[in-house]
Structure 1
Amino acid sequence: MSKKVLVIGGCGRIGNSVAQDIANHTDAEVTITSRNPQQQVKPPFKFLTLDLAALDQLEKAIASKDLVVHCAGPFHHRDGRVLEACIASKVDYLDVSDHRSFYERVVIHQDQAIAQGVTAILNTGIFPGISNCMTKQGIEQFEQPKKIHLSYVVAGSGGAGLTVMRTTFLGLRNKFAAWIDGKWQDTLPYTEREVIEFPQPYGKTGVYWFDVPETYTFADSFPVETVITKFGSIPDWYNHLTWITAHIFPEAWVTSPKGIEFFSRVSYLMTNVTDKFSGIGVAMRVSITGETAGEPQTYCATMVHGNTAIAAGAGTGTIAQLLLEDKLKQPGIYPVEQALSTELFLEAMASRQIEIVNC
């Protein structure tokens, strides 16, 4: 019998890409959810109206599944109810969470997940997700890695929806702790611009400090002294507009729910126009420095994809496929780099025509 997968938030851009990847690479029965009962869904997907606030409905929906994939962000303010219900029902769990605060809220259930035999893998997708596994591949080349520098650039909207726009603006004014020189140091988002050389068609573009889960989890996953994570947009003038939003506009505009919604919708409308010229792709570059046999060593790898949302779907769909095929079982709660081996990662990327290229 086919295994059953529930993709919560599967009608959104990222969630739908995840569901499509699972359908393309497994024979699982995939059910996608939305709060909107009028949502139109095409085969091969089944549809379920689900509001995460209705705990009884959530628990019932999860109990009959083999895997739950949580794609209903933003995750800045999500609690752990979906994961808790999965643990109670002994159902494996994935998510596309993209903020350290969510990881901190749910990792406290580690012992319960282990006791119930539930594998829960967080931070899957593109960044975090594929970026984590690219970094792990590089770390494995060193005897003593010291510094990780991850840069991401997204063209236009990236093929994503309003939720991703909201995620960007939610953290613009909040300091975050970055692991620098062996200690946690407060860092401001969208500061310390660097110009990074990405593969074509992107070339040189600006990136800025940005709070992503990797900034936090890498310090635990790898024996390094420094983790730098920077993000930028194409066209580059979007970076300057975001910098102005983060540093010039009154704080109340950028931190209030109405302000965040306003900036998100304006940005979404703008990218609907510029996507025609910029495309909706993504490029990532990881640079690692350290030592092997006492000698300095540098590692660099890049990845490019023409559609950010599809790439995110591949990152999460990869983990879903491996769980459904019983190739990945690690009871507990982990960021993706602590659960997925480089060998399995590279096999899955090759099957999706995603190439990791050494620079």
Structure 2
Amino acid sequence: MACACMRHLSAIRTPTVASAGPPKETANSRVLILGGTGRVGGSTAIALSKLSPDLRITIAGRNREKGASMVTTLGKNAEFAEFDINDDKSLESALNDVDLVVHAAGPFQQTEDCRVLEAAIRAKTAYLDVCDDTYYALRAKAYNNEAIASKVPAITTGGIYPGVSNLMAAELVRVAKSENKGEPERLRFYYYTAGTGGAGPTILATSFLLLGEEVIAFNKGEKLKLRPYSGMMSIDFGKGIGKKDVYLLNLPEVTSTHETLGIPSVSARFGTSPFFWNWAMDAMTRFVPSELLRDRSKVEEMVKLFDPVVRVIDGYAGERVSLRVDLECSDGKHTIGVFSHKKLSVSVGTSIAAFALAVLEGSTQPGVWFPEEPQGIAIEARELLLQRASQGTINFVMHKAPWMVETNPKEVGLGIYV
């Protein structure tokens, strides 16, 4: 399946894109949020209600008590729908008369199907997911032709990272190509989140599952497979965050931006704090069998054991989050973008809400797209989306030289430069 998806990605590298035109009105549009009683889905619902108060929002989940509490928070334009995402009849019923479904019911790792996307295509409902898994994203892309045939606009990996980070990369590349004589050669994604970012067990499960995946990176067009949580670098994220250690991780924006933006060298790194969590993550990749880390049920059992300790540590670690995207060109020019926020639990919802509004406003063409593809978020709609997503940030800069934001990063002990 992955190989077929990769061939499909290659075929759409240089698309012809029609203008999206002026944004459509979103007043009274209906949005269904799957996983809406969770921290990510709930944060998305709150952000959407603030950005567009006239939206009608349906919170979908299995916990009626949490659903009722969320409806109270959102007000008169909200309602709760109790159902199981694995029940096809329940899912199709929930999609009736819905303008957009936001799939925030993770984790996406080790999920073997795209059940929600399939149902959205059948129901002719626009679709957005917050997937952060390479293999799930590629499976979603395989539904591109079906979505086009049904005239359904769909975006996969439309969260904060990946999501906002993809758009930052696309804009760095677009501006570099318009201003420079050199060609974009190296793209690096750096991410930092304090603790679990206040996002709870789902984020912890996602982290553990990713430790079971070999890291895909690209160096001068060559595809590399590397050990997860290796290749430490010390990166300065600028104001409000400072220098943090980050490690290689297998994230979908590496493959998608390599293919769709045509960048020869791409990698992604992530780090957390307190510092001993990074040591623990590294130790897990060395001493815990990868088969166990790829077993979703066993990982969920591990999360139950770790969760009480994690919550205590999160209490003093905070939940600051930062994205830094670096682009290097063949003429020596190096530009970066930085996006930092005090609270991931707030910022992730604002970012997803920004994508949701862009889809409702008609920015997305029929088909299944990554955020950096102009059919996913039209070029002329990127600025507004990033403006919305960056509300409340402590630092958001684009198209700056590294020295304007921080000291030069220092590479630590990695033989392969990716």
Question: Normalising by structure 2, what TM-score?
Answer: 0.80
* 1:105-144 map, 5 Å: 105-143=139-177, 144=183
1:347 equivalent in alignment to 2:387: no
Given candidates 58, 61, 65, the residue that maps to 1:31 is 58
Superposition map of 1:220-231 within 5 A: 220-231=259-270
Mapped contact 2:198–2:344 kept (Cα < 8 A): yes
Percent of residue pairs identical: 29
Q: Could you tell me whether the CA contact under 8 Å between 1:70 and 1:96 is conserved in 2?
A: yes
Provide the C-alpha distance between the structure 2 equivalents of 1:264 and 1:350, rounded to a whole number of angstroms.
35
- Per-residue deviation at 1:106? 2.0
Shift of 1:37: 3.6
Which residue number in structure 1 is paired with residue 43 of structure 2? 17
Match of 2:12 in 1: none
Spell out structure 1 runs of 4+ moving beyond 6 A.
none
Check whether the contact 2:44–2:353 (CA below 8 A) recurs between aligned residues: yes
Unaligned runs of 5+ in 2: 1-26, 178-182, 406-418
Q: Compute the displacement of 1:274 (Å).
A: 2.4
2:96 alignment partner in structure 1:
63
Pick the aligned partner of 2:349 from 298, 313, 316. Answer: 313
Match of 1:330 among 361, 365, 371: 365
Secondary structure of 2:163 counterpart: helix
Whether the 8 Å CA contact 2:217–2:225 is kept in 1: the answer is yes
Corresponding residue number in structure 2 for 1:54: 87
> What number of residue pairs does the alignment pair up?
355
Other-structure match for 1:4: 30
Q: How does 1:1-359 map to 2 (within 5 A)?
A: 2-26=28-52, 27-39=54-66, 40-41=68-69, 42=72, 43-44=74-75, 45-78=78-111, 79-143=113-177, 144-251=183-290, 254-257=293-296, 259-291=298-330, 295-326=331-362, 328-338=363-373, 339-341=376-378, 343-351=380-388, 352-354=391-393, 356-357=396-397, 358=400, 359=405
Offset from partner CA, 1:192-250 (integer Å, 9 cap, x none): 11111112332112110001110111111112111010000022221011111111245
Q: Is the 8 A contact 2:358 2:377 kept in 1?
A: no
1:251, 1:82 → 2: CA distance? 28
Kindly indicate whether the alpha-carbon contact (under 8 Å) linking 2:256 and 2:370 is maintained by their aligned counterparts in 1. Answer: yes
Cα deviation for residue 329 of structure 1 reads 3.0
Q: 2:117, 2:140 within 8 Å by CA — same for their partners in 1?
A: yes
Q: What is the CA distance between 1:186 and its match in structure 2?
A: 1.1
Structure 1, unpaired ranges of 5+: none
SS of residue matched to 2:372: helix
Paired residue secondary structure (1:63):
coil
Give me the whole-angstrom Cα distance separating, in 2, the residues matched to 1:202 and 1:267: 26
Decide whether the 8 Å contact of 1:205 with 1:236 is kept in 2: no
- What is the CA distance between 1:266 and its match in structure 2? 4.3
- 1:19–1:204 Cα change, 3 Å: same
Q: Cα RMSD between the aligned structures?
A: 1.9
More strand by share: 1
SS in 2 for 1:356: strand
